[in-house]
Structure formats: structure tokens, C-alpha cells
């Protein structure tokens, strides 16, 4: 595990973008595993800026995203498909045919999870997986539990998550998706490189617990301690307890 200390959010974003840019330069036809959420937005913004300056070329890149809400059409503004297009894909020259996310509209969970695992296998696995971390140590939608989930699977969102998300769905809890498809822990661990971005005081405790505590499925991110090439880029606040 390598820990890179950044001054603040912008510095964290720039450092993480440098690592992703290096991956794309070293292997132009690489497979990038991508994440949504607030933390990586600055990283994507930086990548777009370098693309605009002619520094980066995504034409041969394949992407596989971590997760997607089950039951939400791609076009919905809160789908992760929309998030990724808004923040990255619409602004760079990635081939639309090389963009992969779980299909939230396939309500046959077993079939969709098997399809997505097959997509990841077919593209040759993930070269670099970008991750954020939840306050409870979740990665993707792998929530604390008594065992690590392996491949892509369907999860029930926790009532707190549904409640927190209702602000994006006209404040109506009935419109919030209740399930999601997520890559499993094994798939994440099989990525050849894992890059986590984390910022803010509110994440300091979980960073300490995840990377300086025991490896346990009760803290899903703790499994990354076992990864041979795991890089954590955090700002001062997030790393303040380690």
C-alpha cells in the first residue's frame, strides 16, 4: 500500500489524475475501472482539461464502471451512466462502444450480473480501478457484511442510503431505486492497480480503520491492504489520523 499525501481536494484530484494519465500514456488501450460519487469529480475534470490541451488520448481506452442503480434508465439524470457522461465521457474521445456499466434496466439480476462479469473478463480485466470510500468503508456498493462478496451482484440499498438519495428524486422516497448492481470485491481486487481518492475530515476515521485496522468484511475497504499495488491519494484532512 502506498499513501500519497495531498494538500487539499484540488491537489488530491491532480495527483490522482496524474496516475490515471500515466496509465493511459503507458498503455493507450488500457481498461479503466471508474467510480462515481463526489470525490472523483475533480479528477475527471483534470483529465478533461489535459485532454483539451492535447495531452491525453482516450480513443483506445475501455471503461468499466463499478456500479449502477437497478431499475433506472440510462437517460435518468441520476443514473451512473448519466453521471459518467456528464463528468467525463462527453468531454473526451473515448469510443462509446468501449464504455461499459451494469445495465440498470435489465431486471433479471442473475443474468445482468453474469453478463457484466463476462464483459470484464472479455476485456481482459481491469488495469487501473479508481475507487472512492463510503463512511462505513464501502467500496462500490459492497457494504459492511459478514463475508466479502465476490463477483458482480445485486444489493439492497440501506434505508439510510435511500433516505439520503431522495433529494435527487424530487424528495420522493418512492422514486429512489432500492437496489443496485455492483462489481464484487474479488473483481476489484483483481484489478492490476487500485487507486483510491479520499478527502475531508469526515473520512479520516474510516481511512484509519480500513488501512490500519484488521482486514474484515465489516470494513469492506480493508481488503485493499492485501492488494499488491494499492495507492491511496488523500488530502490532509482525510489522512489526519494516520
Residue 189 as a binder of ligand F6R (CB under 6 A): the answer is: no
Nearest distance, CB of residue 53 and ligand F6R, angstroms = 26
Q: Which stretch binds ligand F6R (CB under 6 A): 34-42, 53-61, 96-104, 105-113?
A: 34-42
One residue of 4, 5, 37, 57 binding ligand F6R per CB under 6 A: 37
Residue 56: Cβ within 10 Å count: 20
Q: Which stretch binds ligand F6R (CB under 6 A): 13-21, 131-139, 169-177, 216-224?
A: 131-139
* Nearer Cβ to ligand F6R (64/94): 64
* 122 burial type by CB count under 10 A (0-12 exposed, 13-18 middle, 19+ buried): exposed
Residue 97: Cβ within 10 Å count: 7
Q: Which stretch binds ligand F6R (CB under 6 A): 4-12, 46-54, 128-136, 185-193?
A: 128-136
d(CA 44, CA 89): 9
Residue 134 as a binder of ligand F6R (CB under 6 A): the answer is: yes
Site for ligand F6R in 53-82 (CB under 6 A): 66-67
Amino acid at each position: 500500500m502506498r499513501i500519497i499525501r495531498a494538500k487539499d481536494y484540488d491537489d488530491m484530484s491532480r495527483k490522482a489524475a496524474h496516475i490515471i494519465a500515466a496509465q493511459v500514456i503507458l498503455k493507450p488501450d488500457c481498461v479503466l475501472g471508474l467510480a462515481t460519487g463526489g470525490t472523483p469529480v475533480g479528477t475527471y475534470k483534470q483529465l478533461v482539461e489535459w485532454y483539451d490541451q492535447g495531452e491525453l488520448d482516450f480513443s483506445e481506452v475501455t471503461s468499466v464502471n463499478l456500479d449502477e442503480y437497478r431499475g433506472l434508465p440510462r437517460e435518468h439524470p441520476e443514473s451512473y451512466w448519466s453521471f459518467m457522461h456528464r463528468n467525463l465521457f462527453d468531454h473526451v474521445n473515448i469510443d462509446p462502444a468501449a464504455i461499459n456499466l451494469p445495465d440498470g434496466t435489465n431486471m433479471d439480476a442473475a443474468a445482468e450480473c453474469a453478463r457484466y462479469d463476462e464483459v470484464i473478463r472479455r476485456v481482459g480485466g481491469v488495469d487501473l480501478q479508481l475507487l472512492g470510500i463510503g463512511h462505513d468503508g464501502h467500496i462500490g456498493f459492497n457494504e459492511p457484511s459478514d463475508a466479502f462478496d465476490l463477483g458482480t451482484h445485486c444489493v439492497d440499498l440501506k434505508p439510510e442510503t435511500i433516505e439520503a438519495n431522495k433529494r435527487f428524486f424530487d424528495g420522493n422516497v418512492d422514486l429512489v431505486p432500492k437496489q443496485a448492481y455492483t462489481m464484487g470485491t474479488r473483481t476489484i481486487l483483481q484489478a492490476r492497480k487500485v487507486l483510491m481518492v479520499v478527502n475531508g475530515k469526515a473520512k479520516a476515521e474510516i481511512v484509519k480503520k480500513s488501512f490500519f485496522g484488521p482486514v474484515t468484511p465489516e470494513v469492506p475497504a480493508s481488503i485493499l491492504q492485501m492488494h499488491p499495488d494499492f495507492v491511496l491519494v488523500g488530502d490532509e484532512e482525510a489522512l489526519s489520523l494516520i
